Amino acid sequence: MAYFWRFFKVYKFGAAVFLIILLAFILRFYNYENRWGLAYDQARDILVAREGLRLFSLPLIGPFASAGQFVYGPQWFWILMGLVMVYPYSVITPWVIQTLLYVAIVLLMIIIGKDILSRNFGLVLGLLTAVSTAQLSQATNLTSPSMVGIFAFVSLYFFVRYIKTGSIRNAFWLSFMAATSVNIHFQAIGLLVLIPVSFLLDKRRNLKKFIYLGLGTLIPFIPLMLFDITNNFFESKNWIEYIVHGQYAIYIPNRWLTYVGEYWPNSWAKIIGGEAFMGYVIPILFAVFVVISAVSRKLSRTMLAFALSFFSIFLMLRYYRGERIESYLTFLHPLVLIFTGWVIMQIFKFNRAIGLSLFILILVLTLRADLSQIKSGENFTAIQTREWRETLINKYPNKSFSVYDYQYGNVHKSLPLVLFLESNNKIDDEGVKIGFYIATSKNDFKYPSIWGDKGGYQILNLEGTSSAYLSQEGWAHVNTSQIYKSTVEWYKGNNL
């Protein structure tokens, strides 16, 4: 025991880092089978990635945005293709790797905190990130906003490194990572603020650094620009349409009082993971400490850069007219966690007991929310889909399947089924035709039933019926090839 304590004293920072990473791993993977999220978006995106690998083809665009008739960049699909390649024989591979990346960014946050202030600050940020309820939620949810969350941490790392070192290499990677985040999902457009802020605060700024920042920003947009130029400026025209008219189509309450007094406190509290009152206390204390530090000239350039960037993003979000759902703030998670940790450190300098008490209170409240989230995890879609897959394979042991969805109305279930079958090499456009739908009196088909009863989900045997006739009846072909074409090749052959 004495040897253990001597070892711990000598390597206490490394031991603390290890324990924080272990905690992050446990919180993200415990009860994992019931927590990894599977729905329409996830199934569609993985199917696109798997088909891209099969065709040895890189998509030029991403999926359509929910805000308007424009598309994201293709980087999200490229990333998924890389994740699937690691072990394509398991459906869950991309989810597991993304969750591991969410463990890795806890270590990255410790490094960021160490670079900003000290080892202790790094440990504080590491613990806050490890237990953050919002981070746990995004870690198991394989969507483009979740991947933005990972790239946001990496962008912040290079942001800090560029401000501290003035390195051209860090300048390039800052802009490259921020621009890639935007291409993955346009919610991250606020991260582009980091680029001019870091350049303006660089005491040794010059034309060469400006060029590198520009190149890093431009390169990730090249695929989207090529698509736009070769398709009658589809992207830019629809962006203009959205800015001029589209954003006003839906009314979203946007008063300053609501934005400052409700939206941000609630969002801040959810990112940390504790009780709602923390969303009021921490931001107010942060603003007070920033003013005090600035007046006394004790605010570091790094924290000044963070404060300026956040204030700019704060104003941008205020005048954004679309919906502000929780997952659209993943790009701000690292900033909120850094500010929370900085407040704790400022209080700790004033009074250790109060600072430590606040830190412990946040951790306890957050862990309570974490445990509730972990225990309540349910993944009915994966359970159902496995049952359907096994039923089909057992009934047709040497066959592949061609899947149809009635009126494209049940894709939140039929696409996961296609994904599970595809992972077993059981999807083929010439395979046994099966139809997936909800059986009601309004759409009572006479095809033989393979699985299910009236009033619920049913899988029908559509063999012997031509694809043209099935289309007339309202059956949509949802095999992997069709999902790929409709998602990333819909513009080919069209007169845009």
- For residue 109, the model assigns a pLDDT of 97
Interacting residues of 211 by C-beta distance below 8 A, sequence separation 6+: none
List, for residues 63-121, the tens digit of each pLDDT value.
998 877 889 999 999 999 999 999 999 999 999 999 999 999 999 999 999 999 999 99
- For residue 66, the model assigns a pLDDT of 81
- Rounded to whole angstroms, the Cα distance separating 208 from 172 reads 11
Q: Do the Cβ atoms of 213 and 178 come closer than 8 Å?
A: no
List, for residues 20-74, the tens digit of each pLDDT value.
999 999 999 999 999 998 999 999 999 999 999 999 999 999 999 887 788 999 9
Instruction: Give the amino acid at 32.
Output: Y
Q: Do the Cβ atoms of 428 and 400 come closer than 8 Å?
A: yes
Measured in degrees and rounded to the nearest 5, phi and psi for residue 405 equal -120, 130
Nearest to 409 by CA among 354, 475, 490: 475
Q: How many CA atoms lie within 13 A of 343 on its CB side?
A: 22
Q: How many helices (H) and strands (E) does the chain have?
A: 23, 5
Q: What share of the chain is helix, strand, coil (3-state, %, to 5)?
A: 70, 5, 25
Structure tokens that stand for 418 in this block: 């296609």
- Rounded to whole angstroms, the Cα distance separating 135 from 373 reads 12
- For residue 492, the model assigns a pLDDT of 86
- For residue 445, the model assigns a pLDDT of 81
According to DSSP, the residues that pair with 403 across neighbouring strands are 434
Task: Classify residue 10 by burial, with Cβ atoms within 10 Å: 0-12, 13-18, 19+.
Answer: exposed
- For residue 441, the model assigns a pLDDT of 57
- For residue 443, the model assigns a pLDDT of 67
Q: What is the residue-level pLDDT of the chain in tens, covering all 496 positions?
A: 555 555 556 688 999 999 999 999 999 999 999 999 899 999 999 999 999 999 999 999 999 988 778 899 999 999 999 999 999 999 999 999 999 999 999 999 999 999 999 999 999 999 999 999 999 999 999 999 999 999 999 999 999 999 999 999 999 999 999 999 999 999 899 999 999 999 999 888 899 999 999 999 999 999 999 999 999 999 999 888 888 877 777 777 778 888 888 889 999 999 988 778 888 999 999 999 999 999 988 899 999 999 999 999 999 888 887 777 777 889 999 999 999 999 999 999 889 999 999 999 999 999 999 999 999 888 889 999 999 999 999 999 999 999 999 999 899 999 999 999 999 999 999 999 999 998 875 667 888 999 987 778 899 999 988 999 999 999 999 999 999 999 999 998 765 6
Nearest to 339 by CA among 375, 304, 387: 304
Nearest to 487 by CA among 37, 92, 57: 57
SS3 at position 325: coil
List, for residues 307-323, the tens digit of each pLDDT value.
999 999 999 888 887 77
- For residue 478, the model assigns a pLDDT of 95
- Rounded to whole angstroms, the Cα distance separating 49 from 483 reads 10
Longest dimension (CA), the chain: 81
| Neighbour-count burial for 25-49, b at 16+ CB within 10 Å, e otherwise | bebbbeebebbbbbbebbbbbbbbb
- For residue 7, the model assigns a pLDDT of 55
Tokens 């049913």: give the residue: 458
- For residue 3, the model assigns a pLDDT of 55
- For residue 428, the model assigns a pLDDT of 94
Nearest to 107 by CA among 194, 25, 9: 25
- Rounded to whole angstroms, the Cα distance separating 419 from 142 reads 14
